[in-house]
Amino acid sequence: MRIFVAGASGQVALSLKEAVQGSEITLVTAGRPDFDLTKPKSVRKAITAFEPTAIVNAAAYTAVDAAETDEAAANAVNGDGAGVLAQIADELGVPFIHISTDYVFSGNKNGAYAEKDSVAPTGAYGRSKLAGELAVLIKNPNSIILRTAWVYSPFGKNFCRTMLSLAKDRDALGVVSDQTGNPTYAPDIADAILHILEGIEDNGWHDHYAGTYHLAGTGESDWFSFASEIFRVGGTLGHPVPTLNKLTTEEYPTPAKRPANSCLDCRKIESAFGITMPPWHRSTAACVKRILAEVDKSEEPLG
């Protein structure tokens, strides 16, 4: 299997790269400045030169707040860029997996969102990701779209790393407690993607695989509870544990509105591909332990 991953420095791309180490899978990640989704000709050249048997789009404009004042840039990558990749995969006749987000929903539903629920993004980032979903399905109806949420990992900038970093200098932290979702570990996403692609390679493509799926950590949380678990695990390893104070969304305003409810119903992907994501508590513990072990080893800041 030869997998081309759009996106080189993101959490899912890095997790995929790590997951295939020692396997017979050849995987390459590509990102800016050499690989720019706003330049279709160079994108096509890079992909066709690699001769992939599958393409994964893990690239995205993810600056949620910045997108409010730069929606055109978000759309160029998340919308048009996603469509370009889907079309190339269609032309090459290879499976295409596109990563999307809970931000396509309003967040006003009581209960977890299913794939069939109406989309209604409230901000520029969500609109750009929805535009990407629509572009993907238009350019390549045989695509697989995976919506995920609250992604964290040992890599880059994310909630888990930020909490651990802040605790080194602060005795108390305020964390929003009225937004609910599914914390999702990027290495778990990578494992699920590889499971899907390996199944397609072994069993061939079936038209019923195409469509939109939800893929998120098992179990619901709010940001305050997520932070509490991060520090519970960190505390057992000697990491500072600050006092946590609950905040409301109103008390922690941001340029882009966050969904009050980001919970995703993942039963469809379990039925179609036999994928059940690990409980978020378990993956959080694994992430915290790894981050702290690597920091201790390198003595580098968490960022």
Any idea which residues carry the catalytic annotation?
Answer: 125
Residue 61 gets the label, from left (phi > 0), alpha (psi -120 to 50) or beta, of: beta
According to DSSP, the residues that pair with 4 across neighbouring strands are: 28, 55
How far is the CA of 94 from the CAs of 21, 26, 190, in angstroms?
A: 22, 15, 18
The strand pair at 26-30 and 2-6 is best described as parallel
Q: Are 203 and 209 within 8 A, CB to CB?
A: no
What three-state secondary structure class fits 33?
Answer: coil
Nearest to 87 by CA among 42, 37, 139: 139
How far is the CA of 275 from the CAs of 122, 193, 199, in angstroms?
A: 30, 10, 11
Burial class (CB in 10 A: 0-12, 13-18, 19+), 265: middle
Amino acid identity of residue 1, one-letter, is M
